[in-house]
Amino acid sequence: MPNVNQSQSKIPSLGVGTFRLKDDEAYNSVTMALEVGFRHIDTAQIYGNEEAVGRAIKDAIANNLVAREDLYVTTKVWNDKLNKASFVDSVKESLEKLQLSYVDLLLIHWPSPENGESMEEYLGELLRVKELGLTKEVGISNFTVAQIEEAVSILGEGVISTNQVEVHPYLTNEKVRAACEKHGITVTGYMPFAVGKVLKDETIIAIADKHGVSTAEVVVAWELAHGLVTIPSSTKRKNLETNFKALELTLGADDIAKIDALDCGDRQANPDFSPAWD
């Protein structure tokens, strides 16, 4: 029996996000990311870029840049598809756009079904997609502590690979992280740079100067030091290279404590259908 305090997920700790990237911008970002060395690509139905991401992946495979089995691709089901009528077909449509026979991870994007469907209904569909072989792993996103508990009670321990939530130095989200740890669920932190805000923070600049690295490397290394997966995005090769270099940076306990202390609850992603945050 797996240790519930140890995630069994195969999700690579550093990935590249594609939120807000469209068309050629998404294609070029993913292509450059794969050239830099990233093997974990994160997209979603609502991003409107699955087709561009899929083309980039297909071309990278065709050009022998990467093999499919070495990639980890995540997509997410949107709020209007969280029902028996639409869920599976929406995933099949995502796979067509991505030109893949399966994704490595499929997430419920928000616990906010448009028509008020129960969690039992949409998590049941999530499990059905896994049973159909359309995804290797399943997970959740933007779930609160209470919703994590409800999801685990429905699916059981060891089924949910990750909860993808906003985590950065200004929003450390510790209650949710603790709830995930309790159930052996990996936390994937999105928006690690808080839309660039934390890259200008004086504390982080001082730590970056001490190590002779960029502030982006410090922030990514901080997330990784906490055992988080993180998915920064960029349209610039130089920034993608910098983000990837963070894998080589080890921060001291004092550095980590100073960054932890920056938490001020500055949430960036808070649409009107958000749950009641912890």
* 225 occurs within a structural domain: no
Taking the CA atoms of 85, 86, 92 and 93 in sequence, report the sign of the dihedral they define. Answer: positive
Q: How many CB atoms lie within 10 A of CB 227?
A: 12
Q: Which of 199, 188, 216, 212 is nearest to 44 (CA)?
A: 188
pLDDT tens digits along 13-35: 999 999 999 999 999 999 999 99
Question: Residue 184 and residue 244: Cα distance in Å, rounded?
Answer: 26
pLDDT tens digits along 124-135: 999 999 999 999
CA dihedral 20, 13, 263, 214 (to 10 degrees): -80
Range of the structural domain that residue 27 is part of: 16-193
Per-residue model confidence (pLDDT) at position 8: 60
Token pair belonging to 197: 């805000």
pLDDT tens digits along 140-193: 999 999 999 999 999 999 999 999 999 999 999 999 999 999 999 999 999 999
Q: Known catalytic residues?
A: 47
* 235 occurs within a structural domain: no
Half-sphere exposure of 35 (CA within 13 A, CB side): 14
pLDDT tens digits along 185-220: 999 999 999 999 999 999 999 999 999 999 999 999
Q: How many structural domains is the chain composed of?
A: 1
**What values do phi and psi take at 106, rounded to 5?**
-120, 130
* 11 occurs within a structural domain: no
6 falls in which pLDDT band (50, 70, 90)?
Answer: very low
Between CA 46 and CA 56, with CA 52 as vertex, the angle to 5 degrees is: 135
Could you tell me the CA-to-CA distances from 5 to 1, 9, 66, 201, 265 in Å, in that order? 12, 12, 32, 33, 26
Could you tell me the CA-to-CA distances from 120 to 116, 156, 158, 164 in Å, in that order? 11, 12, 17, 19
9 falls in which pLDDT band (50, 70, 90)?
Answer: confident
* 178 occurs within a structural domain: yes
Q: Any known ligand binding at 168?
A: no
- Give Cα 76 to chain centroid, integer Å: 10
pLDDT tens digits along 37-72: 999 999 999 999 999 999 999 999 999 999 999 999
pLDDT tens digits along 78-119: 999 999 999 999 999 999 999 999 999 999 999 999 999 999
2 falls in which pLDDT band (50, 70, 90)?
Answer: very low
pLDDT tens digits along 242-257: 999 999 999 999 999 9
Per-residue model confidence (pLDDT) at position 4: 32
Q: CATH code at 183?
A: 3.20.20.100
Please list, in sequence order, all residues whose beta carbon lies within 8 angstroms of the beta carbon of residue 163, skipping any fewer than 6 positions away.
Answer: 139, 140, 141, 143, 148, 176, 180, 185, 186, 187, 188
* 2 occurs within a structural domain: no
* 206 occurs within a structural domain: no
pTM of the model: 0.96
